[in-house]
Amino acid sequence: MITVGILGGGQLARMMALAGAPLGLRFLVLDSAADACAAQFVPLLGADYRDEEALAEFARRVDVVTFDFENVPAESAEWLARRVPVFPNPRALAVAQDRLAEKSLFRELGIGVPAFAAVDTREDLGRAAREVGLPAILKTRRLGYDGKGQFRIRAEQDLDAAWAALGAQAERVGLLLEAFVPFEREVSVVAVRGRDGEFRAYPLTENWHESGILAASLAPAAVDDALREAALAAARRVAEALDYVGVFALELFVRDGHLLANEMAPRVHNSGHWTIEGAEVSQFENHLRAVLGLPLGSTAARGVSCMLNWIGALPERDVVLDEAGGHWHDYGKSPREGRKVGHANLRADRAADLAEALDRVGAALGRRAQVAAPIARLRA
pLDDT, position 356: 98
Q: Identify the pLDDT of residue 328.
A: 98
pLDDT in tens, 158-214: 999 999 999 999 888 899 999 999 999 999 999 999 999 999 999 999 999 998 899
Least confident of 77-86, 167-176, 246-255: 167-176
Beta bridge partners of 116: 178
pLDDT at 145: 61
pLDDT score for 69: 87
pLDDT reported for residue 171? 85
Is 367's pLDDT higher than 80?
yes
98, 106 contact by CB (below 8 A): no
3-86 against 115-179: fold identical: no
What are φ and ψ of residue 195, in 5° steps? Answer: -60, -30
**Residue 111 DSSP class:** -
d(CA 151, CA 175): 11
Arithmetic mean of pLDDT, 256-280: 96
Task: Report the largest interatomic distance among the alpha carbons of the chain, rounded to a whole angstrom.
Answer: 61
Q: For residue 223, what pLDDT is reported?
A: 95
Locate the DSSP E strands across 103-220: 116-119, 136-140, 150-153, 175-179, 185-193, 199-201, 205-210, 213-219
Q: What is the pLDDT of residues 346-356, one digit of tens each?
A: 999 999 999 99
When pLDDT is cut at 50, 70 and 90, the band that residue 298 belongs to is very high
pLDDT at residue 70 in the model: 85
Instruction: Count CA atoms closer than 13 A to 277's CA, side-chain side.
Output: 18
pLDDT category of residue 362 using cuts at 50, 70 and 90: very high
The C-alpha atoms of residue 189 and residue 240 are separated, in whole angstroms, by: 15
Overall fold of domain 115-179: Dna Ligase; domain 1 (3.30.1490)
pLDDT tens digits for range 93-149: 999 999 999 999 999 999 999 999 999 999 999 999 999 999 999 999 987 665 578
Pairing of strands 44-46, 26-31: parallel
pLDDT of residue 149: 83
Q: How many CB atoms lie within 10 A of CB 85?
A: 18
CA-CA distance, 261 to 103, in Å (whole number)?
8
pLDDT 10s digits, 22-38: 999 999 999 999 999 99
Fold of domain 185-379: D-amino Acid Aminotransferase; Chain A, domain 1 (3.30.470)
Q: What is the CATH code for 3-86?
A: 3.40.50.20
Instruction: Sketch the domain layout of the chain as residue ranges.
Output: 3-86, 115-179, 185-379
Q: Is residue 153 scored above 90 in pLDDT?
A: yes
